[in-house]
Amino acid sequence: MATIEEGATVLILTEGGKRYLVGVRSGKRFHCSEGYVDVGDLVGREYGCIIQSNTGVRMSVHKPLLMDLLSKVRRVTQIVYPKDIGYMLIQSGIGPGSRVLEAGTGTGVLTATLAYYVKPTGRVYSYDVNQEYLEAAHYTLERLGLREYVELKNGDVSKYVEETGLDAVFLDVPEPWKAVENAWKALKPSGRFLSLSPTIEQIVETVETLRARGFDDISCVELLMRNMRVKRGMTRPEFLMHGHTAYIVSARKTLT
Q: What is the pLDDT of residues 4-44, one digit of tens each?
A: 999 899 999 998 889 999 999 998 999 998 898 999 999 99
> CATH 3.40.50.150 occupies which residues in the chain?
69-252
pLDDT of residue 244: 85
> Which residues of the chain does CATH 3.10.330.20 include?
9-64
Of 44, 28, 37, the closest CA to residue 58 belongs to: 37
Q: What is the pTM of this model?
A: 0.87
> What are the CA-CA distances from residue 121 to residues 14, 96, 232 (Å)?
38, 6, 48
Q: Which of 68-72, 112-116, 251-255 has the lowest mean pLDDT?
A: 68-72
CB 99 within 8 A of CB 167: yes
| E strand or H helix at 25 | none
Tell me the average pLDDT across 51-66. Answer: 92
Q: Long-range contacts: 208-211, Cβ < 8 Å, 24+?
A: 208/177, 209/177, 209/180, 210/177, 210/180, 210/249, 210/251
% of the chain surpassing 70 pLDDT: 97
Q: Identify whether the C-beta of residue 191 lies closer than 8 Å to the C-beta of residue 92.
A: no
Does domain 9-64 fall under CATH 3.10.330.20? My reply is: yes
Cβ 134 vs Cβ 150: under 8 Å: no
Please count the CA atoms within 13 angstroms of the CA of 149 that sit on its side-chain side.
Answer: 27
In terms of DSSP bridges, do strands 99-103 and 216-222 run parallel, antiparallel, or are they unpaired?
unpaired
Q: What is the pLDDT of residue 127?
A: 98
For 69-252, the fitting CATH number among 3.20.20.80, 3.40.50.80, 3.40.710.10, 3.40.50.150 is: 3.40.50.150
pLDDT digit string, tens, across residues 78-112: 678 888 999 999 999 999 999 999 999 988 999 99
Q: How far apart are CA 123 and CA 7, in angstroms?
A: 28
- pLDDT digits over 108-152, tens only? 999 999 999 999 999 999 999 999 999 999 999 998 999 999 999
